[in-house]
Amino acid sequence: MPRGVAIPEVRQQLFAAVERLIAGDGPSRLTGRAVTREAGVATGLLYAHFANFDDFLVGYAIDRTFHISGEVAGLSERAGSGTVAGNLNQAILATPLDTLLALTRLMAIRPDLVAKVETVLGGGTAGLQAVEHAVAGYLAAEQQLGRVAAGADTEALALAVVGVLHHVAVTDGTDSAAETRIRRAMGALFDGFPAITAS
């Protein structure tokens, strides 16, 4: 990159590079040099935006957690429309699989990131925790409408949803097979729940 050439959205460019590296080699070999090389920028550019590499990883985790939280935030508003499985799939797959995979893998080997994310975004928000809370709230709303059985443990079902995401993120790639596995799991869990039909 020639000197003096502005790089738009440099933070997002670096964050996207992290995701490609984790998808390819896992999170254990991440370095500032590897990230900037993958992003196609000078090594010093990362440190122009972040105090150190740890600060960069915290910034990445906060950014992606905020994005995931935003995608599932309106889930409860869908209660009573469509199907339960369809609504869940639409919300949880709104975040690209490479982001889910990278963030989940990174936080699995760097559990200290949880507290750092929660310092900024609040308790119970780091990684897939926001998904778990949103799904539990959504299922409780559907339960009030009679579309989830009165005796169903909505918090346990939400944990199962997050367990599916976590397992697929840790074990699978980001291709269509991973998305298919998630959709099949949501169907197995929720396809028996009724849909509201137009009158």
Angle CA 54–58–159, to nearest 5: 130
Q: How many CB atoms lie under 10 A from the CB of residue 155? A: 15
Angle CA 86–185–156, to nearest 5: 90
Given CA atoms 93, 96, 101, 104 in this order, what sign does their dihedral have? Answer: negative
Q: Provide the residue ranges of all domains of the chain, joining segments of one domain with +.
A: 62-190
The per-residue pLDDT for 61 is 95
The per-residue pLDDT for 135 is 95
Cβ pair 186, 161 in contact under 8 A: yes
Cβ pair 11, 49 in contact under 8 A: yes
* Global pTM value: 0.84
Secondary element (H or E) of residue 72: helix 53-72
Q: How many CB atoms lie under 10 A from the CB of residue 39? A: 22
| pLDDT beneath 70, residues of the chain | 1-8, 172-175, 192-199
Angle of the 10-25 helix axis to the 53-72 helix axis, nearest 10: 90
Count Cβ atoms within 10 A of the Cβ of residue 80 and give its class: 0-12 exposed, 13-18 middle, 19 or more buried: middle
The per-residue pLDDT for 53 is 94
Non-local (6+) Cβ contacts of 143 within 8 A are 149, 150, 152, 154
Could you identify the residue written with the tokens 């905020």?
66
